[in-house]
Amino acid sequence: MSNFLITGGSHGIGAALAAQAVQAGHKVVFTGRSEERIAQTEKETGATGFRADVSKPQDNQATVDFALQQLGTIDVLVNNAAYGYGAPIGEMDVDAMRAMFETNIFGLVDLTNRIVPLMKKRQQGDIVNIASTSGMKGHANGTSYAGSKWALRGISQCWQAELRPSNVRVFCVCPSEVQTGWGGTEPGTNPRKLFAEDIALSIMGALAMPARGFIPEFAVFATNPF
């Protein structure tokens, strides 16, 4: 049994992963910004929610304190909290881009920075960074969001180099389009496209590898979404 901390876990991929981890016998704390969504996800998954905004350092410390109180240790950190902002170059709102990076990158780094010393001390732990195929191939209007996911892939590689001697594994997951209702859209029902549960299943499979090995990075695509 492992103890999971999942950011952005009140809906989408985070909620699906919380559900599958609890079903597998693990203990899970997840964060979110909506009390209503947190309560609903707690009811649906059996995981424990905590209201926090990863872009705020004080919230990150409170998250770590709460998770340790509930779990005792943090064995698996899933950095899932993120959102998108898109605009063509020439029309970019750079302040909006900076605000997005506060969540997608700087907040993620801040939270991980608080947890890694605990993992290194125990000489074990798993970190799962949810990037995107947008971080593998650029696209129109993607300067901000795709840029953050390219950055996360590079950060993941740096952490892998730093943390492997401490037996801490860092996985970078790059989902393609997932029907989660992300960005305020309605959740999709197209059976040919990916669902949040598919990404969660791939993460659980990667984590199930023996501790002597890990998958540094993998992308998940729908087989035939057309």
Task: Provide the residue ranges of all domains of the chain, joining segments of one domain with +.
Answer: 3-220
Among 211, 63, 216, residue whose Cα is nearest residue 125 = 211
Q: Using CA atoms, how far apart are residues 73 and 86, in angstroms rounded to an integer?
A: 37
- Confirm whether 145 is a catalytic residue: yes
216 three-class SS = coil
Q: Using CA atoms, how far apart are residues 146 and 86, in angstroms rounded to an integer?
A: 9
Amino acid identity of residue 217, one-letter, is: E
Report pTM: 0.96
Q: Which residues contact 181 (CB under 8 A, 6 or more apart)?
A: 11, 12, 187, 188
Q: Using CA atoms, how far apart are residues 101 and 98, in angstroms rounded to an integer?
A: 5
Q: Which two tokens stand for residue 75?
A: 């064995």
Report which DSSP code applies to 165: G
The answer for 28, left when phi > 0, alpha when psi is -120 to 50, beta otherwise, is beta
Alpha-carbon distance values, 104 to 36, 39, 153, 183, 206 (Å): 23, 24, 12, 14, 22
Q: Of these residues, 4, 85, 145, 159, which one is catalytic?
A: 145
Q: Using CA atoms, how far apart are residues 102 and 174, in angstroms rounded to an integer?
A: 20
In this structure, whether the domain defined by 3-220 belongs to CATH 3.40.50.300 is answered with: no
Among 219, 217, 218, 208, residue whose Cα is nearest residue 20 = 208
Q: Which two tokens stand for residue 66?
A: 């709460």
Q: What angle do CA 61, 65, 71 make, to 5 degrees?
A: 140
Report pLDDT digits (tens) over 132-187: 999 999 999 999 999 999 999 999 999 999 999 999 999 999 999 999 876 555 67
Q: Which two tokens stand for residue 197?
A: 């549960």
- pLDDT recorded at residue 182: 61
Mean pLDDT of successive 10-residue stretches along the chain, which has 226 residues? 97 97 98 97 98 98 98 98 97 98 98 98 98 96 97 98 98 94 68 96 98 97 94
